[in-house]
A and B are shown apart, each in its own frame.
Chain A
Amino acid sequence: MAYVAVSGGKEAIEQSLKLLEIFRESREDITVSGIKENMGLLVDKIMSEAGFYSPEYAALALKQCEGSVEEAVFLLRAYRSTLPRNYYSCPADTRDMRLIRRISAAFKDIPGGQILGPTYDYSHRLLDFSLMEEETGEKAEEGEGVGSESGEDIRCGRVTDILREEHVLEEVEEDNTEPFDVTSNLLTFPAPRSARLQTFARSDAGFLGGVAYSSMRGYGAVHPTVSELRCGYIEIDVPYILDEEESLCIGEILVTEVEALVPSHTETDEEFDKMSLSGGYGLIFGRNENKAIAMSIADASLETKGDTPSQDEEFVLTHGDCLEMSGFISHLKLPHYVTFQSKLDRVRAKEEGK
């Protein structure tokens, strides 16, 4: 009989899940902590797109789904829905970040110094066949005493602090309004900047990169200077219930922060408009540099006017969520025969009408 694939669904699903378990099952030794320790950048990517900080659970998710990024993000997001929301954290100041890497493309030298840290930027991308048989942990011993991984505590102010003192940055008032929460509200347009930034931070890295790239390449107007890219640990505090003045530190998270600068014009009462620099901002969980830069460009791009995709707020904010895009695309695999019957009815009616 036709459509057998659709009926008898219960048994079919059970068999499919069994088969999946066979595909997934570890054939080689692979542990959650192994994934967490060795696939750090992948774990960071999962956490950023899931909007959920837990290297351990991200590693577990990766183990559970054969390393699929979208499935791992999916698992974390779904798990997140089951957790009660107990606290909102206090604002964190990234000036207090314990740095592992910090560079500025805007200046040759910066107060506090350029800290290259761990980066693939200057490595040659040659397959290293010696890794086929590598002993674990050799290099970590050699690395002791290098940078802040050595335990050296490096903290410093931002490059933009210096520029702000010089009054070359666009003057903006500090905005201390309660941020919009995109995880419990539907976005409305125009969206407040807090909503934009949250949406970008959770965005699919590929989508966000495409948006930023298009803006730099000519479909838009933003080709920024990276004032500062910093990567390190920040402390997260929550208000102490018994005393409003007090807060409690609940741990550290690793983040990447980018401040990008673009020239801007401000209208004034004077004869000529004022020229200054305005900023785009990126902050992403983990070591996630390209996504953080892309975020700062996408942010700055929405401040410019024009008809390109990167300047269209509704477009960039509604199509970048990993879960939403993969969910809606994959739902096409569901049966659609009732609506297809309805479509056929219309097509046939038109045929008969002719």
Chain B
Amino acid sequence: MIDARHYNFAFLDEGSKREIRRSILKAVAIPGYQVPFGSRELPIGRGWGTGGIQITLSIIGREDVLKVIDQGSDESVNAVNIKKLVEECTDVAITSDSEEASIIQSRHRIPEIPMRNDQILVLQVPTPEPLRIVETKESVTKQMHAEAEYSPMWLSLFEDLTQYGEISVSSEYPVMVEGRYVMNPSPIPRYDNKKLSDSETLYLFGAGREKKIYAIPPHTDVVSMCFDDIPFQAEDFEGKHCRLCQATGVYLDELIDEKTGEKVYECSDTGFCRGRREQKTWKHQC
């Protein structure tokens, strides 16, 4: 339990929060560009979402309502752990209803219900550098971004198609932002990539261990990298549905039914699934 007498509102000292907010502003001004920042250590492990948490702690105010999901689930251990930290050091309201939330922090998913322009989605990023798969050195990737030299990235896609007939990138599928910066959308499934483009909401990406912040402001053009004659492919759930709410056309988790031993599916977005079962109507239907 964090004792408020020993710690500032939202844990970090005000100077640190202001510094992080300045980095966020810069990121919003240059969509897709990775802004370096002086990442602070948190009571949660580096690599466990500290970039996202630092953004959340820096932007959160007493009136905010926070939702945290991990793998689409409000109940996941990591999501619970993060909510607990923020709640203890801010006392803000916590929700699992994505409509009520003003800030949603997420790991690996973008919620199914489209987000509004008065909400912010904060994504946790382990490896912000999309070019890391083709180049190990930070000094080189920095130069590649500066020169918009993305041929090696395209080449790796070409190689995949040549060798396997398929592009093998599963999640963290690279996107081109406003025709300028190649960006790693964090390890969201390819299914979620389309939600990044021309969205109503602001997306903020935080990588604590790698000390980078980047952003996609509302109505930004975001394109998944693919060749003209090879359509970009999202995960395929054709013919499958959620066994709880019967939803189709959403991202599904695959499970094995313990009794029958059969493969069954459930919505990855647990808040969305619960809402459907409770017959909730959303203002913005998907």
Contacts and interface: CB of A to CB of B under 8 A. Distances in A.
Contact of A342 (B43, B139, B164, B235): B235
Interface stretch (B9-17, B59-67, B278-286): B9-17
A314 interface: yes
Contacts of A13: 77, 80-81, 84
Interface in A309-325: 314, 318, 323-324
Contact of A335 (B47, B71, B251): B71
A341 B258 contact: no
Contacts of B5: none
A6 B76 contact: yes
B251 A338 contact: yes
Contacts of A80: 41
A305 B159 CA distance: 34
Contacts of A1: 255, 258
B7 to A, nearest CB: 5
Contact of A186 (B38, B43, B50, B268): B38
A313 to B, nearest CB: 9
Interface in B116-173: 126, 137-139, 142, 164-166, 168-172
A218 interface: no
A83 interface: yes
A331 B80 contact: no
Given A7-B76, A314-B138, A334-B70, A186 B37 contact: yes
B198 interface: no
A334 B82 CA distance: 13
B238 to A, nearest CB: 11
Of A78, A341, A350, most buried by chain B (CB within 10 Å of CB) is: A341
A122 interface: no
Interface string B27-68: 000000000111111110111101000000000000000000
A3 B142 CA distance: 40
A185 B35 CA distance: 11
Interface string B104-115: 000111000000
B24 interface: no
Given A3-B255, A186-B38, A330-B47, A335 B137 contact: no
A342 B41 contact: no
Contacts of B254: 341, 344
A345 B75 contact: no
B78 interface: yes
Given A84-B13, A338-B71, A350 B168 contact: yes
Contacts of B164: 350, 353
Nearest to A312: B137
Contacts of B184: none
A328 B126 contact: yes
A327 interface: yes
A177 interface: no
Interface in A183-211: 183-186, 188-190
B interface SS class = loop
Contacts of B258: 1-2
A346 interface: yes
A321 to B, nearest CB: 8
B187 A339 contact: yes
A186 B42 CA distance: 17
Of A5, A81, A84, most buried by chain B (CB within 10 Å of CB) is: A81
Contacts of A183: 38
A346 B166 contact: yes
A8 B80 CA distance: 9
A77 interface: yes
Interface in A280-329: 314, 318, 323-324, 326-329
A341 B266 CA distance: 12
Given A9-B77, A84-B15, A350-B166, A323 B41 contact: yes
A125 interface: no
A82 interface: yes
Contacts of B255: 1-3
A7 B189 contact: no
Nearest to B270: A7
Of A85, A334, A335, most buried by chain B (CB within 10 Å of CB) is: A334
A47 B173 CA distance: 41
A51 B78 CA distance: 27
A186 B126 contact: no
Given A323-B41, A338-B71, A353 B11 contact: no
Interface string B203-240: 00000010110000000000000000000010110000
Given A341-B253, A349-B166, A82 B45 contact: no
A184 B171 contact: no
A342 B15 contact: no
Given A183-B38, A350-B166, A328 B47 contact: yes
Given A327-B45, A328-B46, A341-B235, A12 B77 contact: yes
Q: Which 9 A-B pairs have the closest CB atoms?
A: A327-B46, A186-B36, A184-B38, A328-B47, A331-B47, A77-B41, A9-B80, A327-B47, A81-B40
15 contacts: A81-B12, A181-B38, A186-B36, A186-B38, A314-B137, A335-B71, A336-B71, A338-B72, A338-B108, A338-B251, A338-B268, A339-B170, A342-B235, A346-B168, A346-B170
Given A9-B79, A349-B236, 14 more contacts: A7-B270, A75-B43, A80-B41, A82-B11, A188-B36, A190-B139, A331-B45, A331-B48, A342-B170, A342-B171, A342-B191, A343-B171, A345-B236, A346-B168
